[in-house]
Amino acid sequence: MNDSASTLFDVAEVPTPTKSNEWYTPSRYIEAAREVMGGIDLDPASCEMANRTVKATKYYTKEDNGLEQEWHGRVWLNPPYGLTNPLETNCRFKSGGASPEKRSLQSMFIAKALSEYRAGNIEQCTLLVTANTTVAWFQPLWDYPMCTPYPKMRFFVPGLSEGQSQVFGNVFVYLGPHEQKFTQIFSKFGRIVRAIDTPKLPAIQPTLFDKGITA
């Protein structure tokens, strides 16, 4: 029997080839984000090993639960991609298409980031998320500049000798006042895109038949 307390991040499912949430971003991308933002004050979804590369002034671990902490300054965010521990879902940032017992951690962290940015609590944020454009949580991100890396990013996963890549690929999303700088610096990794239309109709709400638990 495991005597350690469970956390929200002891995931029920992880949609990655390794079934692990411990995917660490190569340093060249983090250094690019640091250059755009002028520094990294906070990484709200991290650990001691990951922060050796990120070098955030402050970081939250899964035990801290960054979803329930205060965010500030310039934020780097590569959220966990799994679904929540069904025993630990009492968090006010609940989002995505998962069942009440299993929720997308990625969607919850994105909702938190957007909320904190719009409220003025964080100055800038560089997000690294899966490029799954068909899910509800991705839609608000079209309002911000994105970099679509090519070829696919490969992440460092502890215990594996080869880098791992996501099925959908990834995108970087920038929230902040330095959009031109983001474009100039991140264009070396891939194309920079954002929505150019203005939706005239509200987003279609999920129905009973759109009940997938894609993270």
CATH number at residue 103: 3.40.50
Query: Average per-residue pLDDT in the chain?
Result: 80
Residues 6+ apart with CB under 8 A from 49: 24, 158
What does the pLDDT read at residue 3?
35
16-20, 82-86, 148-152, 154-158 — most confident range: 148-152
- What tens digit of pLDDT does each residue of 11-48 get? 444 444 444 556 678 999 999 999 999 999 999 999 99
Q: Classify residue 9: in a domain, yes or no.
A: no
Domain that holds residue 136: 27-188
The answer to whether residue 199 is domain-embedded is no
**Is 61 inside any structural domain?**
yes
**131 Cβ contact list (under 8 Å, min separation 6):** 148, 166, 168, 169, 170, 171
User: Are 39 and 55 spatial neighbours (Cβ–Cβ below 8 Å)?
Assistant: no
Q: Please report whether residue 198 resides in a domain.
A: no
With respect to residue 52, please indicate whether it lies within any of the assigned structural domains: yes
Using left for φ > 0, alpha for ψ between -120 and 50, and beta otherwise, residue 34 falls in alpha
Residue 168 falls inside a structural domain: yes
Other beta carbons less than 10 A from residue 20's beta carbon? 17
pLDDT value at residue 84: 75
Residue 193 maps to a domain: no
Domain count, the chain: 1
Cα R_g (the chain), whole angstroms: 17
Pick the more confident residue, 3 or 46. Answer: 46
pLDDT top residue among 121 and 155: 121
